[in-house]
Amino acid sequence: MRKVFLLLGFFVLAVCTSVAFATTKDGEKAFLAELMKAIPQDKIVAVDDLYKKWQEVEAGTSNAMIVDIRTEAEFDAGHIKDVNNVDSGHAYGMPKKVADPEKEIWVFCRTQHRASYFVSLLYKYGYKNVYLVKGGVKAWAEKGYPLVSKYLGEIKVLKYEKKVKETFQYREDK
Residues 73 and 149 occupy one common structural domain: yes
Q: CA-to-CA distance for 106 and 12, rounded, in angstroms?
A: 46
Q: Are both 33 and 110 inside the same structural domain?
A: no
173 located within any domain: no
How far is 25 from 28, CA to CA, in rounded Å?
Answer: 5
Is residue 9 located within the same domain as residue 54? no
Residue 143 lies in a domain: yes
Residue 80 lies in a domain: yes
84-85 and 65-68 beta bridge pairing: parallel
- Do both 77 and 151 map to the same domain? yes
Q: Which residues lie closer than 8 Å to 138 by C-beta, 6 or more apart?
A: 110, 111, 160
Could you give the CA distance from residue 75 to residue 124 in angstroms, rounded to a whole number?
A: 26
Model confidence at 172: pLDDT above 50: yes
Whether residue 149 sits in one domain with residue 71: yes
Residues 28 and 45 in one domain: no
Is 94 found in the same domain as 25?
no
If asked whether residues 98 and 133 sit together in one domain, one would say yes
**Is residue 67 scored above 70 in pLDDT?**
yes
Buried b (16+ CB within 10 A) or exposed e, 83-119: bbebebeebeebeeebeeeebbbbbbbbbbebbbbbb
**CA 73 vs CA 12, 69, 82, 85: distances in Å:** 43, 11, 16, 11
| Geometric angle at alpha carbon 38, from 35 and 41, rounded to 5° | 110
Shared domain for 75 and 3, answered yes or no, is: no
- Pairing relation of β-strands 130-133 and 84-85? unpaired
Q: The domain spanning residue 113 has which CATH number? A: 3.40.250.10
- How confident is the model over 118-159, as pLDDT tens digits? 999 999 999 999 999 999 999 999 999 999 998 898 988 877
Both 28 and 82 in one domain: the answer is: no
49 and 113, same domain (yes or no): yes
Domain count, the chain: 2
For residue 51, tell me if it sits in a domain.
yes
- pLDDT-derived band at 101 (thresholds 50, 70, 90) equals very high
Q: What average pLDDT does the segment 26-52 reach? A: 91
Whether 4 has a pLDDT exceeding 90, the answer reads no
| Residue 151 belongs to domain spanning | 41-155
Query: What per-residue confidence (pLDDT) applies to 160?
Result: 77
Given this model, what pLDDT does residue 166 score? Answer: 65
